A = this chain, B = another copy of it.
Amino acid sequence: MNLITLEEKDFFEPGRARLRGRRQQHILQVHRASPGDQLRVGLLNGKIGTGRVIFLDSDTVELQIELQDPPPPALPLTLILALPRPKMLKRVIQHVTALGVKRLYLINAYRVEKSYWQTPWLEDDKLREQCLLGLEQSVDTQMPQIELRKRFKPFVEDELPAISADSLKLVAHPVTESPCPVDIAGRTTLAVGPEGGFIPYEVEKLQEIGFDAVHLGPRILRVETALPVLLGRLFPGR
């Protein structure tokens, strides 16, 4: 937790926040803070600054809050990701949030097992929890928007053209000739398949609406490895 995230409801008067539970425990046990200590805090979807400890006991911490800095810039990216298996999903949400992704569509694909859609980790509060962990890690405050789309074809035909309009459209695909470009300046929509990849029909559907298939080299990577590699390569300056 490199950042303590605050919400409006944590403020009991202007400039003063009171925390209990997970964040209070972290301040007490990991920071081992004392009154007067300064912690890095950020208002969810708002600015970053400092929280000075005013009061701290085993149950409650009160902070004097000053917020002055903007959060780091968002990646100019919309990520279209075939739903990973539940165990990986948690980590992937944390990773991509930490990397600055703000728009994520979790979609179905032929090689996504149906059971994956049943996982409790797709519930709103669970997704939010993983996003928060990613924001706290990367010192960011802007919550990603995550959308679930359980049908591939209607999503790609009816929604994706508008979602990806005026952006560079890429689909990561191991068996193609073009390497993934490096250092993209503009808006990008990146589609990444499940373990085993998109099937040819799915790649073709994406190509029909303007997506270019690109590869990452001769190695086949797991989705959770491939995503940071792709983002580090597309946006090395971010």
Interface residues of A (CB under 8 A from B): 2, 72-73, 95, 98-100, 137-140, 179-180, 182-183, 216-222, 225-233, 236-238
Contacts and interface: CB of A to CB of B under 8 A. Distances in A.
Contacts of A138: 219-221
Identical chains in the assembly: 2
Query: Can you list the 6 inter-chain pairs with the closest CB atoms, starting with the nearest?
Result: A229-B232, A232-B232, A228-B228, A72-B218, A138-B219, A232-B233
A72 B217 contact: yes
Contacts of A227: 228
A237 to B, nearest CB: 7
B233 A217 contact: no
A138 B219 CA distance: 5
A95 B237 contact: no
Contact of A98 (B99, B183, B219, B233): B219
10 contacts: A72-B218, A98-B222, A99-B219, A100-B219, A137-B220, A138-B219, A139-B218, A225-B228, A228-B229, A229-B229
A220 B2 contact: yes
A224 to B, nearest CB: 8
Contacts of A228: 225-229, 232
Contact of A225 (B95, B182, B221, B236): B95
A221 B227 CA distance: 14
Nearest to A228: B228
Contacts of A100: 219
Q: Which of A95, A180, A218, A238 has the most CB of B within 10 A?
A: A218
A236 B231 CA distance: 11
A47 to B, nearest CB: 14
Nearest to A229: B232
